[in-house]
Amino acid sequence: MLRIGMLTSGGDCQALNATMRGIVKTVLGNSKEQVEIYGFEDGYRGLIYGKFRILTWKDFSGILTVGGTILGTSRTPFKLLDEPDENGMDKVEAMKQTYHKLNLDVLCMLGGNGSTKTANRLREEGLNVIALPKTIDNDTWGTDMTFGFPSAIDVATRAIDDIHTTASSHGRVFVIEIMGHKVGWIPLYAGVAGGADVILIPEIPYETKNVIKAIEDREERGGRFAIIVVAEGAITKQDAALPKKEYKAKVAARKYPSVAYEVADDIAAETGREVRVALPGHTQRGGAPSAYDRIFATQCGVEAARAILAGESGFMIAQRKGSMCRVPLGDVAGKLKYVDPESDLVQEAKLMGISFGDEA
């Protein structure tokens, strides 16, 4: 009997179901022994509190195109992992007990950076774990791509596309806030795809005067409107120079709901232009996965299944230079993959005239 545990952890995304489908269909179609699939509900909470259900082939039929996760998900912060719950329960020990009680051969964890750190902790505790790189942010170290990212780009790009018509009609400046607290992969890709005039991301601190210069330059060329794409974690050069604690305190005391409103207010005050803010928000996590996401998610699932059938674990499934591979969990845990300011896409965007606010 081959017993497989499966959970989805952290923020949801469009291709979680497609990935699980890839795992299960491949294992069931190729295993020489009977297989039992245990789906843990709401992420690591299900593993901690023993909340699961046995899944069959039927549960994974027809879910390739369905976003979200049939198992439910939740955030279980890694930094709180060693803190007992409200009833004094040791979370790590509880997860180990559930794993051994069900006599699992392997645990498949679909999650991002924090979730991968927990997966590595469980590996260190002696459990057989395979991680699969889920995050719309594409910030998981060790892989060129994460599932959820392609779909999020599509959603964000459509939002930018839709804003173009109303911005043009009214001759307005629009500031569109795109998800990305610590890294700017989604705003970078969606900004380029959506024809943004300015893209502000965490990795490239900006100056407001440079943003305004880009708007004025566009106006001089006859541009009626301007599109500013701003990552949630966009930061000015002045703030980037502050100590981390001081910057956090400044953000906490900020009068604006988010950085997009601050950028919009600064532009309006300096230029007198009519400025509006648009927030696609959680729509970037929702809806059906894109075609590319379905393909990549399926590849991840199949590669995980191959490892399961071979009795191998202790790594994250990844893609590098177009090829699927495995990266040891110990190498992945705790690391973020940032946008390189000198990368081809950033430099190409600049040559196209897109401003990142770092230079006039």
Res 277: pLDDT: 98
Residue 358 is assigned to a structural domain of this protein: no
Residues 140, 177 share a domain = no
Among candidate residues 42, 59, 137, 154, the one labeled active-site is: 137
Residue 302 has pLDDT above 90, yes or no: yes
For residue 230, how many C-alpha atoms fall within 13 Å in the half-sphere facing its CB?
Answer: 28
Q: Judge whether residue 38 has pLDDT over 90.
A: yes
Residue pLDDT, tens place only, 263-274: 999 999 999 999
Backbone phi, psi, residue 335, to 5°:
-115, 145
Q: How many domains does the chain have?
A: 2
The angle at the Cα of 35, spanning 32 to 3, to the nearest 5 degrees, equals 120
pLDDT at residue 335 in the model: 95
Verify that 135 and 170 share a domain, yes or no.
no
Looking at 216, 250, 285, the residue that finishes a domain is 285
**Rounded to the nearest 10 degrees, how much is the dihedral formed by the CA atoms of 165, 166, 168, 169?**
110
Last residue of a domain, one of 285, 313, 341: 285
Q: Check pLDDT > 90 for residue 326.
A: yes
Q: How confident is the model at residue 286 (pLDDT cuts 50, 70, 90)?
A: very high
pTM for the model:
0.95
Q: Are residues 80 and 166 in the same domain?
A: no
Percent of the chain predicted with pLDDT > 70: 100
Mean pLDDT value across residues 303-327: 98
DSSP string, 104-120: -SEEEEEE-HHHHHHHH
User: How confident is residue 254, by pLDDT bands cut at 50, 70 and 90?
Assistant: confident
Q: Identify the CATH number of the domain in which residue 120 sits.
A: 3.40.50.450
Give yes or no: residues 250 and 138 share one domain: no
Q: Are residues 130 and 181 part of one domain?
A: no
If one counts every other C-beta atom within 10 angstroms of the C-beta of residue 221, the result is 8
Please report the pLDDT score of residue 317 as a whole number: 98
Which sign does the torsion angle of CA 252, 258, 263, 269 carry?
negative
Tell whether the model's pLDDT for residue 360 goes beyond 90.
no
Other beta carbons within 10 Å of 193: 15
124 and 223 together in one domain: no
List, for residues 88-129, the tens digit of each pLDDT value: 999 999 999 999 999 999 999 999 999 999 999 999 999 999
Within this chain, do residues 84 and 158 fall inside the same structural domain, yes or no?
no
Q: Which residues contact 223 (CB under 8 A, 6 or more apart)?
A: 197
Asked if 265 and 298 sit in the same domain, the reply is no
The predicted model gives 302-313 an average pLDDT of: 98
Q: Is position 348 within any domain? A: no
The dihedral sign for the CA sequence 26, 39, 285, 323: negative
Is 53 inside any structural domain?
yes
What is the band of 290 on the pLDDT scale with cuts at 50, 70, 90?
very high
In this model, does residue 320 exceed pLDDT 90? Answer: yes
Evaluate whether residue 345 is within a structural domain. Answer: no
Distance in angstroms (rounded) separating the CA atoms of residues 183 and 169:
32
Indicate which CATH number applies to the domain containing 183.
Answer: 3.40.50.460
pLDDT at 357 over 90: yes
Dihedral sign, Cα of residue 145, residue 147, residue 149, residue 153: positive
User: What 3-state class would DSSP assign to 275?
Assistant: strand
d(CA 164, CA 270): 22
Q: Which of 76, 71, 68 is nearest to 51 (CA)?
A: 71
Mean pLDDT of 349-356: 97
- Candidates 134, 124, 128, 132; CA nearest to 2 is 128
- Which of 285, 308, 323 is the last residue in one of the domains? 285
pLDDT surpasses 90 at 252: no
Q: Are residues 127 and 155 in the same domain?
A: no
* Rounded Cα gap, residues 283 and 335, in angstroms: 27
325, β-bridge pairs: 318
Residues 162 and 138 in one domain: no
- 299 and 185 within one domain: no
Mean per-residue pLDDT, 53-71: 97
123 and 66 together in one domain:
yes
> Which amino acid is located at 37 in the chain?
I
Kindly write down the DSSP assignment for every residue of 7-38, as one continuous string.
EE-SS--TTHHHHHHHHHHHHHHH-SS-EEEE
Dihedral of the CA atoms 89, 90, 93, 96 (nearest 10)? Answer: 60
Q: Is 105 a catalytic residue?
A: no
- Token pair, residue 6, equals 């499966």
Neighbours of 105 (CB within 10 A): 17
| Mean pLDDT, residues 230-234 | 97
Instruction: Give me the domain span that covers residue 62.
Output: 2-148+289-332
Question: Residue 203 is encoded by which pair of tokens?
Answer: 């990795």
Percent of the chain with pLDDT over 90: 97
List of residues 6+ apart from 256 with CB closer than 8 A: 262, 265
Asked if 119 and 108 touch (Cβ cutoff 8 Å), the reply is: no
pLDDT at position 251, please?
Answer: 86
| Residue 235, in any domain of the structure | yes
Tokens matching residue 183: 């890294």
Tally helices (H) and strands (E) across the chain: 13, 11
Asked if residue 206 is part of any domain, the answer here is: yes
48-57, 58-67, 73-82, 290-299: least confidently modelled range: 73-82
